[in-house]
Structure 1
Amino acid sequence: MRESGCTAGGLLLLFLVLLTCTYTSFGSSFFTPENYVLEAVNRNAPVISPSTEPQPQPQPFLPLLAPSPLTPYTNETPPTLSGLCAFNFSTVGAIMNTTATDCWASFAPYLANVVCCPQFDATLAILLGQSSKDTGMLSLNTSNSEHCLSDVMRILVGKGANETLQSICSVNPANLTQASCPIVDVNEFESSVDTSRLLAACSNVNPVKECCGQVCQNAILDAARKISLNDLSTSISVPISSGHVNRLDDCRHIVLRWLSSKLDPSSAETVLRGLSSCNTNKVCPLDFPSISVVAEECQGVAGNHSACCKSMEDYVSHLQEQSFLTNLQALNCAASLGIKLQKANISRDLYELCHINLKDFSLQVVSQESGCLLPSLPSDAMFDSTSGISFICDLNDNIAAPWPSDSIVQLPSCNKTSKIPALPTATSTRCGVQFLSLIVPLIASLSLPLKMPP
């Protein structure tokens, strides 16, 4: 859909989108185009052999240009807490800071499914896990869960997090309870589960290999299955029924809390975020509007295809208003849309015809007509007291969106024989370095709700 300016090896744009949002009063924020600064570096991306595994994340780096005079505001006054929550917030202070930055007020809805909500979920699991060392329980009762979640939100909002974070990430006090899982006592848990195997599988997770090998994920599932069937008169070898799925998922959260109690908070955060990335990259989080206009313009297209491509570009522009995506999510979204178009009797490869790339499915920087794909293992957002909030967009302009075929029905991320495009990755090799300091009109109409992955 859009062309790149750098030649040999392709153009890799590493975007640092700096949040320079100020607040008129504590807890309020505004999201306007003039509050954002884009700093881009053109780099030379060497030829990358096709990969079927998520790529390791690039290391975060600080802006290279002079900072914006506007900086994000955080409340310096410690929030008043309920006094009724047993969480030891001081032990996870660094993690709380990371969560507040990842879920910063104006960016939270657009980083929700990739960065913000996975970090928020990990924070709650770690808080519960660390708390269990004193309470002996891996859950809270209904009353305590309300107080604790309220305290967590007060701390995070005081550090700059979005006030509607609970709604954005679909978290409520019940998420801190045992829900339908029958075992939450630490001693009972450890007598029911092969804890040695669980720790061996999950203490040192390689987030790239884990997504395909699923060593830790399988150990967690086995432990969850055992405790979920604790009060049922059935063998653990019996297949899980549809009515048992919710209980199994509730117990999986209990297992994650227990793991978080056995690892130091930093290690637990790494494990939980790695596992969440595996799940996040399996789905496309976008809502697809009706393709009727595209189908009308593109069925049997031949010769002059400008009308078809115009309708296709208009359609994709609606997708670009929703969320930042990882490169693997973009592959899934391209496959999902392609299948919808094929079912509408469009056999022509519209991605090739209309020059649509993977970047075109993610949130766009309109004035530069550039998409932003996050790495498959997204970096946390970063806060700098002078330049604000920044995060890495990992983008190779030369990766075309793959049109689905009989052999590619869904993303073959772990199929070693499948051919998928080389994924974006960061490189320090420079290609005619140019520094840009531009105001980013980051789509004033960013209003579509996010569809959170299951």
Structure 2
Amino acid sequence: MRGPLVRSLHICASILLLLVLCMHESSGNVLGYSKSSALAERRADLLLPEISPNAAPQPFLPLLAPSPLTPFTNSTIPKLSGTCVLNFTALSNMMMVTSTDCMAAFAPVLANVVCCPQVEATLVILIGQSSKYTNTLALNGTLAAHCLSDFQQILVGQGANDSLSKICSIRSSNLTGGSCPVSDVSEFESTVETSNLLAACGKIDSVNECCQQVCQNAILDAARKLTEKAYSLLNLDGSHVFSDHTRINDCKSIVLRWLGSKLEPSRAKEVLRGISNCRINKVCPLKFPSMSHVIEGCGAAKSNQTACCSSVESYVSHLQRQSFVTNLQALNCAASLGVRLRKANITNNVYSQCRISLKDFSLQVGVQESGCLLPSLPSDVVFDQSAGVSFLCDLNDNIPAPWPATTQLPASSCNKTVKIPALPAVASGQRNFQRTGSNYAASLMASVALWILM
């Protein structure tokens, strides 16, 4: 019964969303910026600006009216196992944030950047906080299964997507100790230099941690200390530790849970989300389908720019249906696609030729096809009964996609003078398009409605 009911609610919400859009459009209030006019104004030869690392991009907050989204946020009473040792009530506020970050309609398209990192951080903190009473930083297999089920039931009851395990690849084994030989709190604290760990991770520099890795190195050192226990028990030297990646990763989870027990929950979340974003921003999360059509349209023997750009834009439109990405992820996606095209002997800068910008790699919002790049630093979805649903978009998104100079992926952004979150940002003299909140909301609402119906 649940599946058909949820589907019906989704369809009803979608119809309401489209009706709202129609009312906005009929009133004559339309966006002052369209895809075609934006393309006409992009400068093909514009390079990424050299700006101060402290000049963070200014975000934009698109709002979604609450009424059509009410079906997604109705609370239901979850059926819990009654055996889980995790204190969900103590972290009720964080659980609510997690439910909102993973709201039914948005979870799949915000999974990589917002939903799943928040889910992972919440589980870590839940286990860490419970260790104050259980004296263990891991659950056994049976408890892990019950607790994960209860965790998901509570989130779904608060409006979260009911497929979080699949969306975020979460298994009950993620709540156990895995192959790490230490899970007892007392043994952990006698093995690891906890004062050094807290000094490095008590508060992280969200901008510089990804490059300087102060906290991450401290976590790695602690995980190696724990891993050595496995070899000392077998009377072996610790030379195997550096190659024991699986055990080290399992021990990293134990270290993170200990931090989750020692730090105040909101501070622990800041640290965990900051560390996860270092990993997230390093890669492009998009899957690249076959580009044979682009190669055929833009190959060396071809000189028809119209046909080439048509094939490039068609290909990019498939990428835009996957998910929202951060501004740094968009840079990685542009580089990955560019390298693939160069390896296919397409040497002309088709990004410049076809006016492809960074926002073209992110999910498009609204009938005007305006891309939303998420900020490179962690952010959450916000739900307010009166204001609706909102999430941050970095409107400094009219940056032309940089074409790679070689067939090799460019060096890490840590090797550049511009650091996150200052890269990318609006170039000097580039037009900054203004959008009214109500009209942008209508467009985003329509986008969500169409996505639900697909």
Unaligned runs of 5+ in 2: 25-29, 34-46
Which residue is 2:325 aligned to? 325
Cα deviation for residue 229 of structure 1 reads 2.4
Unaligned runs of 5+ in 1: 1-22, 448-454
Which residue is 1:451 aligned to? none
The Cα offsets for residues 37-73 of structure 1, whole Å up to 9 and x where unpaired, read as 7899989xxx99535969758678584x9x4532323
Which residue is 1:339 aligned to? 339
User: Aligned in 2, Cα 1:42/1:101: closer, same or farther, shift over 3 Å?
Assistant: farther
> What is the RMSD of the two structures over their aligned residues, measured on CA atoms?
3.3
Does the alignment pair 1:294 with 2:294? Answer: yes
Which residue is 1:393 aligned to? 393
Which residue is 1:362 aligned to? 362
Does the alignment pair 1:225 with 2:230? Answer: no
**Counterparts of 1:74-93 in structure 2 under 5 Å?**
74-93=73-92
Which residue is 1:156 aligned to? 155
User: Aligned in 2, Cα 1:333/1:231: closer, same or farther, shift over 3 Å?
Assistant: same
Structure number with higher strand proportion: 1
Contact 1:71 1:386 in 2 (8 A): no
Contact 2:373 2:395 in 1 (8 A): yes
Which residue is 2:185 aligned to? 186
The Cα offsets for residues 358-399 of structure 1, whole Å up to 9 and x where unpaired, read as 000000125112111000014200001134322111122430
Q: SS where residue 71 of structure 1 aligns?
A: helix
Which residue is 2:42 aligned to? none
Q: Using structure 1 for the length normalisation, give the TM-score.
A: 0.83
Q: What amino acid is aligned across from residue 240 of structure 1 in structure 2?
A: F
The Cα offsets for residues 242-278 of structure 1, whole Å up to 9 and x where unpaired, read as xx21111111111100000000111111110111111
The Cα offsets for residues 427-449 of structure 1, whole Å up to 9 and x where unpaired, read as xx9976644432444278859xx
Which residue is 2:68 aligned to? 70
Which residue is 1:245 aligned to? 245
The Cα offsets for residues 208-239 of structure 1, whole Å up to 9 and x where unpaired, read as 11111100000001111111221115554657
**Counterparts of 1:31-46 in structure 2 under 5 Å?**
34=15, 36=17
Which residue is 1:202 aligned to? 201
Q: Using structure 2 for the length normalisation, give the TM-score.
A: 0.83
Does the alignment pair 1:350 with 2:350? Answer: yes
**Counterparts of 1:136-155 in structure 2 under 5 Å?**
136-155=135-154
User: Aligned in 2, Cα 1:196/1:435: closer, same or farther, shift over 3 Å?
Assistant: closer
Q: State how far apart, in whole Å, the 2-side matches of 1:284 and 1:320 are.
A: 13
User: Aligned in 2, Cα 1:432/1:252: closer, same or farther, shift over 3 Å?
Assistant: closer
Q: State how far apart, in whole Å, the 1-side matches of 2:437 and 2:446 are.
A: 18
Does the alignment pair 1:30 with 2:35? Answer: no
Does the alignment pair 1:129 with 2:131? Answer: no
User: Aligned in 2, Cα 1:284/1:103: closer, same or farther, shift over 3 Å?
Assistant: same
Does the alignment pair 1:276 with 2:256? Answer: no
Q: State how far apart, in whole Å, the 2-side matches of 1:193 and 1:88 are.
A: 26
Q: SS where residue 414 of structure 1 aligns?
A: helix
Structure number with higher helix proportion: 2
Contact 1:283 1:332 in 2 (8 A): yes
Which residue is 1:442 aligned to? 447
Q: SS where residue 255 of structure 1 aligns?
A: helix
Contact 2:363 2:372 in 1 (8 A): yes
Contact 2:95 2:155 in 1 (8 A): yes
